[in-house]
Chains A and B, each alone.
Chain A
Amino acid sequence: MRNTNTMDATSTGAIKSGMRRKMKARLSWIPVLAALAILILMLIAGQVHFGSFVTPAMLSSLLVDNAYLVVLAAGMTFVILTGGIDLSVGSVMAFTGMLSAKLLSVGVPVALVIPLMLIAGALFGTMIGVLIHFFDVQPFIASLAGMFLARGLCFVVSLEAIQVKDPFVLGLESARLGYGDWYITPTGIIALIVIAIAAWVLAYTRFGRTVYAIGGNEQSARLMGLAVARSKILVYVVSGVCAGIAGLIFTSYTAAGYSLNGIGTELDTIAAVVIGGTLLTGGSGYMVGSLIGVFVYGVIKTAITYLGADASWERISIGILLLAFVVVQRFIVARANRN
């Protein structure tokens, strides 16, 4: 038999690779930069239209009023990076809030209540993660179950809103550190710390890198001998804990626990993360993007208030932006595939 003459030449690719590499490295940051550009554009447009839109007070409130969303987005980013989704966060946030209000009202010390909130969040996350990994349930369905369960438990705790009078919890929101018109509350600081830790975990720990690997190619990650099972469950635990923290922030913000809090918040969170440039299919995205995503969301809310327009416009703008971003992402993915 004649020598099999295989002619596939891949070596020519090497020449172009240098050029392509530079493009690729930037490619994964493009959605984040796009989100930043949109944020800046919106701020400029607001300033031009309203005259005094971008003020220190407005920028400060952007963080403080959306602190709970920042924390939720941090947890959601982990989940979406693995290619999953967590629909339970809004309900879990409401439930941990209810739980804390109830426990505080019967006299449980706050030093015990806060850890319990985080543990409750973690338990929901663990349940969802185990369902997904060991019982092979779709993340959508598993977290939907978690969402209904948490919402149901809210009603079990109480149908009425429960006032919170604990000075520490209230202080998280009312205490203000300020410089001129700039201010920040403890809740805002918590949000920034959560984002910072989350960004560090993603970039500098094995767990964080495994999250990216799973999102890139779960099969490969498994064959590489990475702790896929543990990491996949852990991202939901992280998201659950974040929901617990968000519960604390939200309770402090509204000075009450109410069982109808946070309905639809999971979708706002997902929207913020996606607008922030994290690919819904997983494997690509950055924590700072999610922070920007939340700010974009916050600016839209503020602008609608300034306009005095109907609140429905907030939803419509978010919807349009989300659509635009998903299209941008598809475009980027298609380009990456072509290369």
Chain B
Amino acid sequence: MSENAVVVEMRDISIEFPGVKALDDVDFTLRSGEIHSLLGENGAGKATLIKALTGVYSIDSGTIRVSGTERTFAGTADAQTAGIATVYQEINLCTNLTVGENVMLGHEVPGRFGINWRATHAKATTYLRQLGVDVDPRSQLASHSLAIQQLIAISRAMVVDCRVLVLDEPTSSLDRSEVEQLFAVMRRLRSRNVAILFVSHFLDQVYEISDQMTVLRNGKLVGEYQVGELSRSELISKMLGRELDELESIARNASRTIDRTGNPILKVTGLGRKGGIEPTDLDVYDGEIVGFAGLLGSGRTELVRVIYGADRSDHGAIEVRGKSVRLSTPRHSSDHKIAFSSEDRRAEGIIGDLTVAENIVLGIQAKRGWLRRVSKAQSDEVVAHYIESLDIRPASPHILMSNLSGGNQQKVLLARWLATTPQLLILDEPTRGIDIGAKAEIQREIAKLAAAGLGVIFISSELDEVLRLSQRVVVLRDRRKIAEFDNHENFDIDDIVALIAKEGAA
């Protein structure tokens, strides 16, 4: 592919944030008609590089050339004028508008009396059809699935007639067939000589779709490679900068046996909520990791929210260490040393305008009440301990949370809950959208804590993660617990898939 014309040439790009050098003399080249993956751990600088290219951030030094002309982007509109269109991970469309408007906003077809809506919607439909999306352009955006919204966002990029399409984690909320649909679209665009910059933490997808790869680590360029010349393990070691397969090293810590005599930490009987989760029984013992497997919407999140008191239950009883309790608000749960990390870390977890240290201490402070101050020494000690043990990067307690990458934000959240010394930790999708290195660290930490006696409820869409960590697996479907079993060596993903799929049509 390297014989193709260079469309984007970024040289010696540096961007600095307070306390972080996000990009340090990075070069990046993108050619027409190629799909180029940008790889690196969380915090490696992928997002920053993309934002420099799309005009969200201005660069501190270096040059950006698009089709040979040097450009400085003062904003996203400038980058779009230069032919660079972007589809972000958190889909940046307006849910209060129609599909057609979202595609055409800013490029509406003018008529004699203002916007000609009929022609605008018709044009939107042609763009959507090109990508194989068959939806009514007059429907509300919010009524469509994330996958469709993603494709709608790409249709929007097509309207701008882009030469460069940036796809930042477009597959993180798509299922397999939707990913296929997206890839078909990407291939079609490639054959039309569009240059595509692709970012994904799914390495399978990277190998399946891309032609070139550029690897970043800690804000520095590691190198650019053709897909054929780098094996997967070589790639991972370049991303991590160390020669080991992290995930395999914690393989099947599951086989630890759990003492199930005596009172469990948590005993749930017939707990349910109308429209959320049907009455369910569940036990969690000391040192046990209970993994929840099931599709999105199967009731896994709903169940833990009811347990924690984030949502109110209609019926059922909860016992903590053999004593019957009412957990009707998160406050009650926290009094019983139960901690819950929500799947939506942006909305229900991190506070971007506070520092890493403040975010960690928040949990302890909330538990102590507002009148009893956490002393500076105590807080410094706690913060330093978790930054080190969870390898939070950059390892500075005083930078703003919003300047951290997703994986590191997740580690800070984990630290916040661990700092309250819970006896039961509920983790809903703690590893979603973060890369292998951070995933491995988080998983290893969870395994270690469980081995030391902590009870954990672990929810993940990635079944291999559930199987690797949990001693006990609960399978949910259609807002019901359909199976529960002890995890053992010869149980694998296919068995769970079979369980979930069984009677799935009903």
Contacts and interface: CB of A to CB of B under 8 A. Distances in A.
B105 A10 contact: no
A10 B500 contact: no
A21 B115 contact: no
Size category of the binding interface on chain B = 35 or more
B88 A8 contact: no
Contacts of A205: 114-115
A283 interface: yes
Interface stretch (A158-166, A183-191, A223-231, A243-251): A223-231
Interface stretch (B1-9, B92-100, B221-229, B332-340): B92-100
Given A14-B148, A21-B143, A206-B106, A6 B176 contact: yes
B113 interface: yes
Contacts of A52: none
Contact of B500 (A3, A6, A7): A7
Contact of B96 (A11, A212, A224): A212
Contact of A8 (B97, B144, B296): B296
Given A21-B136, A216-B95, A217-B94, A4 B464 contact: yes
Interface of A: 1-14, 17, 20-21, 24-25, 28, 200-201, 203-206, 209-210, 212-213, 215-217, 219-227, 283-284, 336, 339
B145 A223 contact: no
Given A8-B461, A25-B139, A220 B92 contact: yes
B218 interface: no
Contacts of A13: 144-145
B388 interface: no
Nearest to A223: B92
Contacts of A10: 145-147, 173-175, 178, 296
A84 to B, nearest CB: 16
A3 to B, nearest CB: 6
Given A17-B139, A220-B94, 9 more contacts: A3-B204, A10-B173, A11-B177, A11-B178, A24-B139, A204-B114, A204-B117, A222-B76, A339-B143
A209 B464 CA distance: 46
Interface string B89-120: 00011111100010001101000011101000
B86 A223 contact: yes
B500 A223 contact: no
A19 to B, nearest CB: 9
Given A4-B204, A217-B92, A217-B94, A209 B105 contact: yes
A215 to B, nearest CB: 7
A contacts with B: majority SS: helix
**Closest 8 pairs (CB-CB, A-B):** A204-B114, A216-B94, A216-B96, A10-B145, A13-B145, A8-B296, A220-B92, A283-B96
A14 B296 contact: no
A209 B102 CA distance: 10
Contact of A219 (B92, B138, B142, B500): B92
A3 B97 CA distance: 37
B4 to A, nearest CB: 27
A1 B250 CA distance: 12
Contacts of B114: 200-201, 203-205
Contacts of B139: 17, 21, 24-25
23 contacts: A4-B462, A4-B464, A7-B295, A7-B462, A8-B173, A8-B461, A10-B146, A10-B174, A11-B145, A20-B143, A25-B140, A203-B115, A206-B115, A209-B97, A216-B97, A217-B96, A223-B76, A224-B94, A225-B75, A225-B76, A225-B106, A283-B96, A284-B96
B113 A204 contact: yes
Interface string B454-479: 00000001111000000000000000
Contacts of B105: 209-210, 213, 224, 226
A49 to B, nearest CB: 40
A47 to B, nearest CB: 38
B259 interface: no
Contact of B295 (A9, A209, A224, A336): A9
Contacts of B202: 4, 6
A225 B148 CA distance: 21
A66 B217 CA distance: 65
B493 interface: yes
B296 A24 contact: no
Nearest to B462: A4
